[in-house]
Amino acid sequence: MAAVLGYGYAETYWIQIKEYSFASPDLPREFDGTRVVFVADIHRGPFFSEDRVRSLTEQVNSLAPDLVVLGGDYVYADLSYLDSCLDGLRGLDAPLGVYAVLGNHDYGQHGDGKYGPAPAIEAFELSNVSLLHNRAVWIEREAARLRIGGCSDYQQGTPLYTPTLEGAEARDFVLLISHNPDFAESLPMDEVDLMLSGHTHGGQVTLFGLLAFHLPSDYGQKYRTGLVTNDKTTVIVSNGVGTSGFLPIRLFARPQIVVVTLHAAANLQPE
């Protein structure tokens, strides 16, 4: 048992760079080759220090991202760690911007005693990261553009996809960020080209990477990790980089930084 726990603890530091190619006829040729680096579930807290967040930032920058996306759960249960997490992320650098959504652990208590996103939203307003909380923007390059949107958390908030689709036409490339991959089941048919999610931690503790003993999803193992297609869109689910629970342990669910290279074509494959 001690050997298993020792390995599980060591695995939490063994970050994998997981690369995908995503090709779509909707992607303008001006964005062909765009590198999107996606980080989720940092879970800053007693087991994930600010120094580790800064190291993560350096690792992300070393991947030469064009666009950086943060998928929520910057803290684990305790919002007092949020400011230091955002300080550690301040050095993120990408020419097309750094965008984020909130996760379920980022909702906290505010002045009236109720729980909600207000404290986290305020913290992001003071950071250099653009929070897409049921909001979307156009990213432009030369005469072309693509749409990137984010939604509130599926469990704690009221996620909306309509702001992301507002003003977008069928020929536009649409990228949606949702902390929880279950939201993919609520999307309209063929309106979102790609969705990036975290939340599941790849199961965090698994049976040799094949089966999670516990998964926070309404759809069983479907959205545990990796590339998932349903009849509405394509979802890439990251294992995230932090851990949840009373022990910082991972078993055959390595922490991940996801790199998605976009291509103006019509096929999809993991690299």
What's the Cα-to-Cα distance from 194 to each of 21, 46, 79, 185, rounded to whole Å? 12, 33, 30, 13
> What are the pLDDT digits (tens) for 43-70?
999 999 999 999 999 999 999 999 999 9
pLDDT at 210 over 50: yes
The SS3 of residue 261 is strand
Rounded-to-integer distance, Cα 89 and Cα 106, Å? 16
Number of independent structural domains in the chain: 1
Single pTM value for the model? 0.95
70 vs 115, which has greater pLDDT? 70
Q: Are strands 98-100 and 67-70 parallel, antiparallel or unpaired?
A: parallel
Range of the domain at 87: 2-270
CATH of the domain at 148: 3.60.21.10
- Is the pLDDT at 268 greater than 60? The verdict is no
Beta bridge partners of 131: 100
The tokens of 179 are what?
């902390």
DSSP-based three-state secondary structure for 102? coil
**Token code pair at residue 239:** 């294992």
Q: pLDDT confidence of 4, banded at 50, 70, 90?
A: low
Pairing between β-strand 256-263 and β-strand 35-39 as defined by DSSP bridges = antiparallel
What span, in angstroms and rounded, lies between the C-alpha atoms of 260 and 31? 12
What gap in Å lies between CA 78 and CA 80, rounded to an integer?
Answer: 5
